[in-house]
């Protein structure tokens, strides 16, 4: 099997598991004959077998930029491909390993959004480092460079409020290191009556979210508000975000937990007690939480949004009600949305007035 074939198989497997990757999130790369092959921006890992999702980038150019400390360097795709390389290309170039995977793995993420971060100093896992939160792109590459600079090989990274990175020189070791990380940072769903979340084997079955103890019946009827139809998201687990008081109370205070959640679902949630509040808005919201009734979505709410909201539910479902979480601050959120801090402040003010 060629390197590309074995990487493709891995990508489809992890990309089809909503507990590891959501929509176009995460990225995988391999280095071969002076080329860094990295998932293209916006591509889905799950699609790796069906279409070309890898962008070739000049590895030597990346290494020269990194050696010069130029973390703002923007890698370009080599001729022959029109994909744009992932925003995390420099991170992949920094890792010395032939194969690198960056995943938004739900169970480690459930640990990494807590104020009390995992202690890796006395870890039983060698080669593991914790990287403080940094904005994806140049800032994160800088934080990863620091983590890799110490003595001894670092092959697994826990990225606070973000996800994990694993590197290895062969695919078997990559898989083994990922498995070890997932075992070490397992996070069962709190208060489940049914077995913990299963890992669906394909994207089509990816709506099989975890369930919590008895919740209110799902709302089935769409709401027509100001001429716009909002349909209830008929997904029992995710609906719990609006119907389970413990989860609902988290929405306002624990929303901005990790980058893709903010980028896809916005900087703050729209929570209402009465649908009339939505009808009075000047713009049509993508979705909203109706207290005690469920999650209602507009026609613009697509599969990527759904997978992100499902991920958020999975992360919250793994927290004890007393567990304090660390949300991204105003500067960090603004950095994700390419906003200045002032625009963020105004947006927040508008949402809460
Ligand atoms: Zn990421």
Rounded to the nearest whole angstrom, what is the distance from the C-alpha of residue 349 to the centroid of ligand 1?
A: 28
The number of folded domains in the chain is 2
Q: Are residues 251 and 168 in the same domain?
A: no
Give the separation between CA 290 and CA 278, rounded to whole angstroms.
10
Q: What is the pLDDT of residue 228?
A: 93
Report how far ligand 1's centroid is from the alpha carbon of 353 (Å).
32
Shared-domain flag, residues 208 and 179: no
What is the pLDDT at residue 105? 98
- Of 133, 154, 184, at which residue does a domain stop? 184
Examine the domain organization and report whether 153 and 250 are in the same domain: no
Q: Are strands 287-290 and 271-272 parallel, antiparallel or unpaired?
A: parallel
pLDDT at 353: 40
Cα–Cα separations (whole angstroms), residue 29 to 82, 200, 298: 17, 24, 35
Domain boundary among 156, 184, 212: 184
**Residue 174 CA, ligand 1 centroid: distance in Å:** 18
Strand (E) or helix (H) holding 56 = strand 54-58
- Which tokens sit at 279? 């009808």
φ, ψ of residue 67 to 5 degrees: the values are: -60, -30
The angle at the Cα of 67, spanning 64 to 68, to the nearest 5 degrees, equals 90
Distance 149 CA to ligand 1 centre (A): 21
Residue ranges, the chain, pLDDT below 70: 123, 192-219, 339-353
- Ligand 1 centre and the CA of 135: distance in Å? 10
CA of 86 from ligand 1 middle (Å) equals 10
Instruction: State whether 243 and 322 are in the same domain.
Output: yes
| DSSP sequence for 70-83 | -TT----BPTT--P
Long-range CB pairs of 187-191, under 8 A, 24+ apart, other chains included:
187/106, 187/107, 187/108, 187/110, 187/111, 187/318, 188/318, 189/314, 189/317, 189/318, 190/317, 190/318, 190/319, 190/320
Q: Which of 149, 184, 219 is the C-terminal boundary of a domain?
A: 184
**pLDDT for res 53:** 96
* Whole-number pLDDT of residue 192: 53
Distance 279 CA to ligand 1 centre (A): 35
SS (HEC) of 320-351: CCCCCECCCCHHHHHHHHCCCHHHHHHHHHHH
Question: Is 342 part of a structural domain of the chain?
Answer: yes
What is the Å distance from ligand 1's center to 111 Cα?
16
Whether 261 is covered by a domain: the verdict is yes
CA 21–ligand 1 middle distance (angstroms): 9
Question: Ligand 1: distance of its center to the CA of 48 in Å?
Answer: 18
Distance CA 291, CA 294 (A): 7
| pLDDT at res. 350 | 54
Q: What distance in angstroms lies between residue 350's CA and the mean position of ligand 1's atoms?
A: 29
Does one domain contain both 284 and 315? yes
Structural domain contains residue 193: no
In this structure, the answer to whether residues 42 and 138 fall within a common structural domain is yes
Relative to beta strand 128-131, strand 156-159 is: parallel
164: domain CATH number is: 3.40.225.10
58 C-alpha to center of ligand 1: Å? Answer: 22
- Residue 220 CA to ligand 1 centre (angstroms): 34
CB 320 within 8 A of CB 114: no
The reported pLDDT for the residue numbered 219 is 66
Q: Which residues of 181-329 form beta strands (DSSP E)? A: 223-225, 228-232, 271-272, 287-290, 294-297
Are residues 292 and 208 part of one domain? Answer: yes
Q: Is 174 exposed, middle or buried (CB count within 10 Å of its CB: 0-12, 13-18, 19+)?
A: buried
Question: Do 175 and 227 fall into the same domain?
Answer: no
Provide the 10 A C-beta neighbour count for residue 334: 21
Please tell me whether residues 222 and 270 are part of one structural domain.
Answer: yes
Pairing of strands 163-168, 99-103: antiparallel
- Give yes or no for a contact between 101 and 10, defined as CB atoms under 8 angstroms apart: yes
Domain shared by 173 and 223, yes or no = no
Number of Cβ within 10 Å of residue 52's Cβ equals 13
CB 94 within 8 A of CB 31: no
Report the separation in Å between the CA atom of 253 and the middle of ligand 1, taken as the mean of its atom positions. 22
| CA distance linking residue 15 with residue 101, whole number of Å | 11
Handedness of CA 139, 142, 147, 148 (dihedral sign): positive
Task: State the residue range of the domain holding 261.
Answer: 203-352
26 CA distance to ligand 1 centroid (A)?
A: 5
Give the per-residue pLDDT at 235. Answer: 76
For helices 341-352 and 330-337, give the axis angle rounded to 10 degrees: 110
* CA 186–ligand 1 middle distance (angstroms): 19
pLDDT of 212 reads 47
Ligand 1 centroid distance, CA of 230 (Å): 30
Do 247 and 142 lie in one domain? The reply is: no
What's the gap in Å between 165 CA and the centre of ligand 1?
9
Two tokens at 282? 């000047």
Distance 39 CA to ligand 1 centre (A): 12
Does residue 179 belong to any structural domain of this protein? yes
Cα 102 to middle of ligand 1, angstroms:
6
Q: How far is the CA of 219 from the centre of ligand 1 (A)?
A: 33
On whether both 50 and 131 belong to a single domain, the answer is: yes
**In contact, 146 and 60? CB cutoff 8 Å:** no
């Amino acid at each position: 099997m060629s390197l590309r074939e074995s990487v493709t198989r891995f990508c489809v497997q992890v990309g089809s598991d909503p507990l590891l990757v959501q929509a176009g999130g995460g990225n995988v790369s391999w280095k071969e004959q002076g080329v860094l092959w990295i998932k293209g921006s916006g591509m889905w890992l799950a699609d790796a077998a069906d279409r070309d999702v890898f962008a070739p980038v000049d590895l030597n150019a990346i290494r020269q930029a990194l050696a010069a400390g130029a973390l703002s360097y923007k890698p370009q795709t080599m001729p022959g491909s029109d994909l744009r390389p992932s925003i995390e290309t420099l991170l992949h170039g920094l890792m010395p390993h032939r194969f690198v995977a960056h995943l938004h793995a739900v169970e480690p993420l459930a640990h990494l959004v807590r104020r009390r971060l995992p202690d890796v100093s006395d870890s039983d896992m060698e080669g593991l480092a914790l990287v403080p939160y940094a904005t994806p792109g140049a800032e994160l590459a800088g934080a990863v460079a620091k983590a890799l600079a110490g003595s001894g090989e670092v092959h697994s990274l826990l990225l606070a409020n973000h996800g994990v990175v694993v590197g290895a020189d062969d695919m078997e070791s990559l898989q083994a290191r990922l498995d070890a990380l997932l075992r070490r940072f397992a996070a069962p769903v709190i208060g489940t009556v049914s077995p913990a979340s299963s890992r669906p084997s394909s994207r089509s079955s990816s709506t099989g979210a975890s369930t919590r103890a008895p919740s209110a019946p799902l709302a089935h009827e769409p709401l027509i508000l100001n001429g716009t139809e909002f349909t209830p998201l008929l997904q029992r687990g995710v609906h719990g975000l609006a119907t389970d008081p413990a989860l609902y109370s988290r929405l306002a205070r624990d929303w901005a937990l990790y980058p893709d959640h903010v980028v896809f679902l916005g900087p703050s949630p729209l929570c209402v007690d009465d649908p009339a509040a939505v009808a009075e808005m000047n713009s049509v919201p993508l979705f909203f939480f109706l207290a005690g009734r469920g999650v209602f979505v507009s026609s613009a709410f697509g599969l990527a949004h759904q997978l992100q909201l499902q991920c958020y539910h999975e992360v919250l479902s793994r927290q004890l009600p007393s567990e304090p979480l660390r949300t991204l601050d105003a500067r960090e959120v603004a950095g994700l949305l390419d906003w200045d801090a002032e625009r963020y402040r105004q947006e927040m003010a508008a949402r809460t007035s």
